[in-house]
Structure 1
C-alpha cells in the first residue's frame, strides 16, 4: 500500500541537521589533539553505524528482497566508498579546493531526482534549491588563502566523490519508492561500511599509536554522524530527494558554524556569513512551498513512498 509524500520529512531533516551540525563542530578534535589518522576515524565510524542500525531493526523487519539489497548496497558503496576515496584525494590535493567540489553533491541528487524520478518542483522551490546550493558552496570556502595549487588526480577524485555522494541520496530515495523500509536500507549501508574496513586499514598501514582519548572522542563524535545518516534515510523516504538533499546539506554546516562560534570563539568569514543567510532563506522557501502544497502530483509511471 502506498501514499503520497508526507511532511514528516521536515522533522527527520531537522534531526539530521542537529546531529550533523554538532558532529561537524566536534569531529576534528581527534585529529587536532592527537593526530589521529582519517582511516582510523573511518573504521570507528563504520562500527558506530551498528548502534542506530540495531535500534532501527528492532522496529522494522529486515527486507530480504533482492531489490532491497541492490539499492541498499548501492547507497552503502557510494557513501562509504566516497569516504575512502576522499582520504586519497586529501593526500594528493588541497582540502580548501576539494571540499567545495564535494559539497556540490546535492546538484547530482537534484538532477537525478528530476530526470529519473520525474520529481516536480514548483518555481518558488526551484529558487530555494538554487539558493541552498549557492549557500553550500559559500560555506565550503575557507577563510585563509591557499596559494597556487596544481591540479592533478585529486581533481578527478573530488568529482567522483561529488557524484558518488549525490547518487547515494538518490539510491536512498529509490529504495523507499520500491517499498524498502528505512531499517533495511540503513542495515545494508552498515554492512557495506564494515566491509570496507579492511581497505581503510590497508590504506592506513597499521594501527596508530595514540592515547585512549583519541578513539573515545572519535567514537563519541562518529555516533552523531551515524545517527544523522539514519535520519537522512528517513527524511529521503518521506520527502523529495530534490528538496531534502539541498536543504540538509545547506543547514548542517550553518549549525556547525554557529556552534564553532560559540565553542571555539571563531568568527565566520564573509563568505560563510553570506552562506548562512542564503541557507536559511533557501531552506525556508523549500519548506514553505512544501507546506503550501495541498498534495503531490505523481508523474505517470512513478511510484509513491510506502506507508510508515
Structure 2
C-alpha cells in the first residue's frame, strides 16, 4: 500500500541509474577535448542542446508554469547551474576528474551556510562537522596540486566556483519548492537558461569552430546526454523517494564512481593528500546533505541539491 507520505522503493532503480549515468559521465566527459582538442565552450553548447531531450520527457503531459515566481526562481536556478557547467567543462580540460568532482560534491556546504544565514535555519552538529570536513578537504586539495604553473591552481579555483554556483542553485531550488514550483517546470526553466548562455559560449570561442572531425561533436553529444538524462533520473528518483536518502546518493556515490572509473580507465595515481581530500569531501558532503534534508524535507518531487 502506497500513498502520500508512505515511503516506497520505487526510487531505487532511478537513483541507481542516476549514479551510473553521472558517474560515467564525470569520468569520460573530458574525452572530446583530450582526443580532438574540441573547445570546452563548444562542449557546453552541445550539453545545452542535449538538455532538450530530458526536458521534453519531463514536461510531456504536464503544464509548464510561466508565472513570475516560477520564471524568477527557474532562471536563477538555471543560470547558476548552467554557469557552473560552463566553468566545469573548462576545469575538466586542465585538471583530473577524480579531484574536481569531489570538490564539486561539496556544494551542500554552500547551501547549508546560505540556509543558516538567509533562512535562519538551525544547524546541528552533523552540519557543522560536514562544513569543517569540507574546508579541510579544500585545503588538502590546494596543497596537493604539484602540477606547477598556473593551471594547477586554475582548475582548483574553477572547481570551487562550480561548487559555489551549484550550492547557490540548490538554495534557490529549496526556496522554489517551498514556493510551490513543480519540478517539471523548474527543469524546463533550467533548460531554457542553459540555451540562453549558448551565445556566451560562442563569444568565448570567437564564433562557431570549424574543421573538427564528426567524431568530436558526436562523442560530445554522447557524453553530455549522460549528464542531461542523469538529471531527469534525479527528478524521477526525488519524486518517488525521501530526499534524505536520494540526496546523499547523488552527492556522494556518483563522484565515487567517477573517481574509480578515472583511476581504472586512465591509470591516474592520486597523491596521499588528494586521497585524504577525496575521502573528507565525500564524507562532508554526505553529512551536510543528510542533516539538511532531515531538517527541511523538500516538497515531494523537488530536485533540491541537483545540477544537470
Query: Where on the TM-score scale, by shorter chain, does this alignment land: which range?
Result: 0.7 to 0.9
- Aligned pair count reads 292
SS at match of 1:171: helix
Deviation (angstroms), 1:180: 1.2
2:291 is the counterpart of 1:305: no
Query: Paired residue for 2:203?
Result: 202
Deviation (angstroms), 1:170: 1.1
Alpha-carbon distance in 2 for matches of 1:225, 1:78: 16
Deviation (angstroms), 1:208: 3.2
SS at match of 1:41: helix
Query: Paired residue for 2:190?
Result: 189
Query: Paired residue for 1:252?
Result: 254
Alpha-carbon distance in 2 for matches of 1:239, 1:230: 15
Per-residue deviation, residues 166-196 of structure 1 (Å, max 9, x unmatched): 2111112211111111111010010111111
Per-residue deviation, residues 204-224 of structure 1 (Å, max 9, x unmatched): 123232111111110111011
Which stretch shows the higher mean deviation, 200-209 or 116-125?
116-125
Shift in alpha-carbon separation, 1:255–1:157, aligned structure 2, 3 A: closer
Shift in alpha-carbon separation, 1:153–1:279, aligned structure 2, 3 A: closer
Conserved in 2, the CA contact under 8 Å of 1:6 and 1:239? Answer: no
Deviation (angstroms), 1:140: 5.5
Q: Which runs of 5+ in 1 are unaligned?
A: none
Shift in alpha-carbon separation, 1:155–1:74, aligned structure 2, 3 A: same
Deviation (angstroms), 1:287: 8.1
Aligned-CA RMSD value: 4.5
Structure 1-normalised TM-score?
Answer: 0.73
Per-residue deviation, residues 98-149 of structure 1 (Å, max 9, x unmatched): 9699735432211112333444444345435544x25863796696523354
Shift in alpha-carbon separation, 1:73–1:6, aligned structure 2, 3 A: farther
Shift in alpha-carbon separation, 1:288–1:14, aligned structure 2, 3 A: farther
Query: Paired residue for 2:267?
Result: 265
Alpha-carbon distance in 1 for matches of 2:266, 2:30: 12
Alpha-carbon distance in 1 for matches of 2:291, 2:10: 14
Query: Paired residue for 2:305?
Result: none
Alpha-carbon distance in 1 for matches of 2:210, 2:115: 42
Conserved in 2, the CA contact under 8 Å of 1:4 and 1:304? Answer: no
Shift in alpha-carbon separation, 1:43–1:289, aligned structure 2, 3 A: closer
Conserved in 1, the CA contact under 8 Å of 2:65 and 2:185? Answer: yes
Alpha-carbon distance in 1 for matches of 2:70, 2:227: 23
Shift in alpha-carbon separation, 1:78–1:180, aligned structure 2, 3 A: same
Alpha-carbon distance in 2 for matches of 1:289, 1:144: 31
Query: Paired residue for 2:30?
Result: 28
Per-residue deviation, residues 225-284 of structure 1 (Å, max 9, x unmatched): 1123345566778637xx94x774444332111112232333333234324443564566
Shift in alpha-carbon separation, 1:129–1:46, aligned structure 2, 3 A: same
Structure 2-normalised TM-score?
Answer: 0.73
Alpha-carbon distance in 2 for matches of 1:188, 1:282: 30
> What pairs with 1:116-265 in structure 2 (closer than 5 Å)?
116-124=118-126, 126-128=128-130, 130-131=132-133, 133=134, 137=138, 145-147=146-148, 149=150, 161-205=162-206, 206-231=208-233, 239=243, 244=247, 248-265=250-267
Q: Which runs of 5+ in 2 are unaligned?
A: 303-308
Conserved in 1, the CA contact under 8 Å of 2:44 and 2:89? Answer: no
